């Protein structure tokens, strides 16, 4: 696993842990609280969204991130991170 993949996986774990306890947060709050770059944050959020673990709602330049997908959303199969990023 490359260092970038490790950073993304760590971010996924941190975001999942935080949201499982707090249910909802803004993308900006996650970035500041977890001390991560925007790139890693949004790659991790994309992976969680694709797995159906979170829902995202745009609010200006930020997103409201909620643990669990909305019922009307289709949930895609989990996708593994490619080895050669």
79 in a structural domain: no
Domain count, the chain: 1
Overall residue count recorded for the chain in this entry: 85
Output the tens digit of pLDDT for each of the chain's 85 residues. 899 999 999 999 999 999 999 999 999 999 999 999 999 999 999 999 999 999 999 999 999 999 987 654 444 556 666 777 5
Q: CATH no. for residue 63? A: 1.10.10.10
Judge whether 50 lies within some domain.
yes
pTM of full prediction above 0.75: yes
Range of the domain at 21: 3-67
Would you state the structure tokens that stand for residue 61, as one six-digit string? 């330049």
- Say how far apart CA 59 and CA 42 lie, in whole Å: 15
User: Which two three-digit tokens encode residue 76?
Assistant: 């895609």
- Is residue 35 included in any domain, yes or no? yes
The answer to whether residue 51 is domain-embedded is yes
Q: In whole angstroms, give the CA distance from residue 33 to residue 28.
A: 9
Is the residue at 8 inside a domain? yes
């Amino acid at each position: 696993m490359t260092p970038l993949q490790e950073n993304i996986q760590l971010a996924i774990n941190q975001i999942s842990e935080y949201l499982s306890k707090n249910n909802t947060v803004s993308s900006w709050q996650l970035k500041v609280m977890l001390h991560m770059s925007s790139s890693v944050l949004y790659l991790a959020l994309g992976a969680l969204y694709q797995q159906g673990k979170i829902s995202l709602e745009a609010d200006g330049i930020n997103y409201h991130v909620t643990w669990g997908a909305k019922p009307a959303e289709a949930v895609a199969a989990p996708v593994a991170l490619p080895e050669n990023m």
